[in-house]
Structure 1
Amino acid sequence: MIEGGATLDLELLRTFEVVAQCGSLAAAAEIRHRTLSAISMQIKRLETELESRLFERGPRGVTLTPSGELLQREARELLRVHDTLVSRFNGERLSGRVRLGIPEDYARELLDDTLPQFMARYPGVLLDVTTDTSGRLARALKRQQVDLAIVLDGAEGLAHGETLWHPEPVWAAPSYGALHLDPVLPLAVHPVECPYRQLAIDALETAHRPWRALFTSTSIHAVEKAIEAGMAIGVIDRERLTTAMRALGEADDMPALRQCTARLHFARAIEATSRSAVEALATLLRERLHGRGPWQTDSLSERHGNGRGAKANGSRRPGQ
């Protein structure tokens, strides 16, 4: 029990935060470079000190209890304040410039928490962020225009990379109507070099389904609006479904979509003065995104009130 004058070990809170993000003790052990038993003991110690059960254990991993959800909100802010205070005095001794590329579809979620935390923790680092399609980000990596990037697989010319999470692409249709029954399927898609566009085209051509790109935009929000307005069908991450959309599947005579992977890639050459800063951002991205992607434990609908997220659509979150 925490009594007056007692303190919580920040390392326990950091372990708790990583477990909460990953939804898995084993994944947290890999990220924290500790054994599984050490991670388990840290969580048990924290639960003992707080006299509260923080996680429910299950066959697919762990999920936060109501007490755990409360602690996560408070712990995240405490760690942010702590890291900001420390960095103001020593800046974690990091400087340099980090050029990060991220798919536009995930920019909002990363800007909500992860990237502001990096800037607060390392105020001496200049962060440049570019959003684009995965294909263009892959080209930017090869041209040394970014230092690291999150890229969905299928981008030409990129191999290997560190697996971060497995997106769940789905056919998204307006919540009303039956566009999927049209003789020529109207699509809302990104331009070429977008893996989700290619997923849609590959699936339709394999199934010999005629299609046309009715609406094309580099903006995920514009694509989503075209779907919500009843103009077209698109392929988006399941977590982006809104109450104005519905997911279609094989029961609706839509062809199955192959799965894909989001990976972290580094440029072949990184300025020596920036290598430590680049690795620091990569470490934070691994902690935040491993297994579950940019979708935080609290649903998007709870944070933004816009009906998005798994809870609004009855879907299961990745990694749970």
Structure 2
Amino acid sequence: MTEASAATLDLELLRSFHAAARLGSLAAAAEQRHRTLSAISMQIKRLEQALGARLLERGPRGVTPTATGEALLQESRELLRLHDAMLSRFTGRRLAGKVRLGLPEDYARELLTGVLPEFTAHHPDVLLEAVTATSGELARQLSRSQLALAVVLDRPHRLPDGEALWQTSPVWAGPRAGDLTQRPSVPLALHEVDCPYRELAVESLEAAGTAWHAVFTSTSIHAVETAVEAGLAISVIDRERLTPAMRELGAEEGLPALKPCQARLHMARHIDAASRPAVEALAALLRERLQARGPWRALPLA
């Protein structure tokens, strides 16, 4: 009597599938996984054959997960995380190296009090350095590999590749009392150049033919918010950052609609080999906590 062979999933095939689905390109997955394009293509084919289902749709602009592929992404993410954690515990090989992470200041508070402490607790040998800047500046640092990983809004400079994390909710914010929009020129509190929300505000007002002037400019989101609360100016901030001293403004006050932005996760093209496993581990955690939810709707920590 022979024992029936059970089907198993090759974790390396899963990792290549995750990379291709995340990056939207087999070529990009091959570069990240340090394999040839034909090897990645063959791995995806073997995984599809093992599961009896198409996982990726191929198109002229790259690859996108099918419905089955999306389900596999969700269900296998925890499998890979548990495997790596167990291997690390039993072999004594802990993640090490250095990870320099870039964040827009608007979302730093939530990430610094949630996701990042969890990462450092699980990986105490990794030297994590988190820096904040405008998305434009983060994009420049990432292109020069001064950052290993960054969360960047897709304005004012849209970087190639990367993966979507969440859709932001920019709104016009004004002081609770008074109506600054009735002035001949709308007073604005703005960030410096390279800020996505500065670009949104200026672009929207100029398209509507509305006069404006900057009454307060700062690199600090907290300073901009204080200027709004104090009744000095209006600004564009994420809806989640509205305080009791503010109110959301819009069409009733004569302000134009604002386009949403997308927060995307990007990895540098050149990452030190010794640090790459730590960079990928942090990327996986950010993806798990933030994808489709954002920092305010992240899952409770385990």
TM-score of the aligned structures, taking structure 2 as reference length: 0.70
For the pair 1:256 / 2:257, whether they are aligned, the reply is yes
Q: Does the residue aligned with 1:272 lie in a helix, a strand or coil?
A: coil
Match of 1:122 in 2: 123
Question: Residue deviations 1:130-155, cap 9 Å, x none?
Answer: 10000000000011110010000023
Q: TM-score normalized by structure 1? A: 0.66
1:200 paired residue number: 201
Alpha carbons 1:88, 1:123 under 8 Å: kept: no
Amino acid of the residue matched to residue 187 of structure 1?
A: L
CA 107–89 in structure 1, closer or farther in 2 if over 3 Å, else same:
farther
2:73 to 30, 42, 45: 30
Cα distance, 1:92–1:194 mapped onto 2, change above 3 Å: farther
Instruction: Tell me which amino acid in the other structure corresponds to 1:243.
Output: P
Say if 1:224 and 1:91 are closer, same or farther in 2 by CA, change over 3 A: farther
- The Cα shift of 1:158 comes to 1.5
| Separation in 2, partners of 1:186, 1:179 | 7
Give 2:266's aligned amino acid: H
Q: Which structure has the larger Rg? A: 2
Amino acid at match of 2:156: A
Task: Name the aligned partner's letter for residue 138 of structure 1.
Answer: A
How far the C-alpha of 1:30 sits from its partner, in A, is 3.1
Counterpart of 1:141, as a letter, is L
d(CA) in 1 for partners of 2:100, 2:262: 22
Structure 1 alignment gaps of length 5 or more: 1-25, 39-78, 300-320
Query: Matched residues in 1 for 2:228 and 2:70: separation?
Result: 36
1:91–1:110 CA distance, 2 compared to 1 (3 A): farther
Could you tell me how far apart the structure 2 residues matched to 1:32 and 1:191 are? 42
1:194 is aligned with what amino acid?
C
SS in 2 for 1:141: helix
What is the distance in 2 between the residues matched to 1:163 and 1:153?
10
User: How far 1:267 sits from its partner (Å)?
Assistant: 0.8
Provide the residue aligned with 1:306 in structure 2: none
Per-residue CA distance 1:15-60 (angstroms, 9 max, x = gap): xxxxxxxxxxx9886344279xx9xxxxxxxxxxxxxxxxxxxxxx
Is this contact kept in 2: 1:98–1:274, CA < 8 A? Answer: yes
Per-residue deviation, residues 243-289 of structure 1 (Å, max 9, x unmatched) = 10000111221101111100001111111111110000000000111
C-alpha contact 1:87 1:123 (8 A) present in aligned 2: no
> CA RMSD for the aligned pairs?
2.7
Counterpart of 1:168 in structure 2 is 169
Distance in structure 1 (CA, Å) of the matches to 2:233 and 2:93: 49
Aligned length: 228
* 8 Å CA contact retained: 2:290, 2:298: no
Q: Is residue 161–residue 263 contact of structure 1 (8 Å, CA) maintained in 2? A: yes
Q: Which residue of 1 aligns with 2:242?
A: 241
AA of the residue aligned to 1:95: A
Q: How does 1:295-306 map to 2 (within 5 A)?
A: 295-296=296-297
Q: Distance in 1 between matches of 2:123 and 2:91?
A: 9
Question: What is the identity percentage for the equivalent residue pairs of Structure 1 and Structure 2?
Answer: 59
1:28-67 → structure 2 map (5 Å cutoff):
30-33=73-76
- What secondary structure does 1:33 align onto? helix
For 1:231, give the aligned amino acid.
L
Q: Deviations over 1:51-96 (max 9, x none)?
A: xxxxxxxxxxxxxxxxxxxxxxxxxxxx9xxx8x997886762111
CA contact (8 A) 2:156 2:199 kept: no
* Alignment partner, residue 152 of structure 2: 151
Amino acid corresponding to residue 142 of structure 2 in structure 1: L
Distance 1:239 1:263, change over 3 A: same
Structure 2 residue 179 is matched with structure 1 residue 136: no
Unaligned runs of 5+ in 2: 1-68
Pair 1:212-2:204 in alignment: no
| Aligned residue in 1 for 2:59 | none
**CA 90–233 in structure 1, closer or farther in 2 if over 3 Å, else same:** farther
Distance 1:281 1:294 in 2: 15
Distance in 2 (CA, whole Å) between partners of 1:140 and 1:184 is 35
Moved more, 156-165 or 204-213: 156-165
How big is the shift at 1:298? 9.2
What is the aligned partner in structure 2 of residue 265 from structure 1? 266
Contact 1:204–1:211 under 8 Å retained in 2 = yes
